[in-house]
Amino acid sequence: MSTAAPFSLDALRGRVAAWLGLGGRDALPVRDWVNAAPANPSRVLGFDQAMVLVVAALLALGLVMVFSSTIALPDNPRTARIAPNATYMLVRHALALGVGLMCALVAVQVPLRVWERWAPWLFAGSILLLVLVLVPYIGRESKGARRWIPLGVTSFQPSELAKLAIAMYAASYMVRKMEIKENFLRAVTPMVIALAVVGLLLLAEPDMGAFIVIAAVAMGILFLGGVNGRMFLLSLLVLLGAFVAMIVMSPWRAERILAFLRPWDPVYSQGKGYQLVHSLIAFGRGEIFGQGLGSSVEKLHYLPEAHTDFLLAVIGEELGFVGVALVIAAFFWLTRRIFHIGRQAIALDRVFSGLLAQGIGIWIGGQAFINMGVNLGVLPTKGLTLPLMSYGGSAILLNCVALAIVLRVDIENRQLMRGGRA
């Protein structure tokens, strides 16, 4: 009689790697680097062109949909003060996109050893900014949340920098503490303290959505870095318990959960469940092929924050199921590709680069999953934007920089495969 194999965290990691198409533990997946053209079968491509094209397509579609979702804002007296004309938000988003791409061009030139050296300082700087945003007359408050630092013509959101900083710091920390990773308390306690400090600052804003993403990135890197399996699962349960406690102890968060479970209830449909109700109406109107680009009704002052948190609902209404499915497929492919690049780096014994790339993959893929789940009514409402697509200068800037770093990891991988130095 056969017996079930005992649980093994290494086996689970192997299954995750196999599901993501990353090969076995000792496999070195380099076949995507080689051009199979008969004329030059051994030429190695300089960078991941497919990833760049997918990112460019998402950025371009986001630019179009931000324009579509904000074109009616000047017609409403409540929103005319933030969008005095029909192209105001489009121009600001395009400028943010231009700045983000320029910063990405700079970031892709920076070697990973430089990022590794500066990772603790970048993390310390992000904590300082999270403190400053809570200081009166420095941080800007909007709709009961204090999340932005005014910079004259624009504002900066420190929580976006914290997402990249925690990925760098966690990857750097795991490399430095690799020899004690089996001793959970010694290996993880400093990371837990750092995560707790960031969490307290984010919850003071409040910005629970950003904290969920940051916690997922940190825990994901610990998991991929190979910490003790049983203690990792225990710490994960403790973190989930902390989230449940925060919801139970906060009446407005608990009310948001109830609104998510019963959005059509008259008690919630005009309150906490209002956004979700109109998001679902938008998807319903879109059907298979949508109402046509620019033809959304819900964006006409029915669906709040249509250009940020609920951009996918406008895509669903105007481009239908087909448009939403293409966006979901693009994010799935992008996340899988980022993990693939990280796996390649680890196979080449570049652990920091690999863990950083995979941490960025958790950030982009996880935040996209949460935003899509909120829009589709399968997750409670969270103040998280759709990466690369939603309106927001800080988010676009850091998304571009993070993906440029992933591209740099891929470039250095290819340089090593040529027999050179990263």
3-state secondary structure of 44: strand
145-150 and 155-156 beta bridge pairing: antiparallel
Whether residue 48 contacts residue 342, with contact meaning beta carbons closer than 8 Å, is answered with no
* DSSP string computed for 135-176: STTTSEEETTEEEEEE-SSSEE-HHHHHHHHHHHHHHHHHHH
pLDDT means per 10 residues, the chain with 422 residues, are 50 56 45 41 66 97 95 84 86 95 96 94 94 89 82 88 95 78 66 86 86 90 77 74 73 73 79 87 94 91 89 96 97 97 94 95 96 91 89 94 96 85 60
Output b/e per residue, 294-317; b: 16+ Cβ within 10 A.
eebebbeeebebbbbbbbbbbbbb
**Whether residue 206 has a cis bond before it, omega within 30° of 0:** yes
User: What was the pLDDT predicted at 20?
Assistant: 53
At position 230, the amino acid (one-letter code) is: R
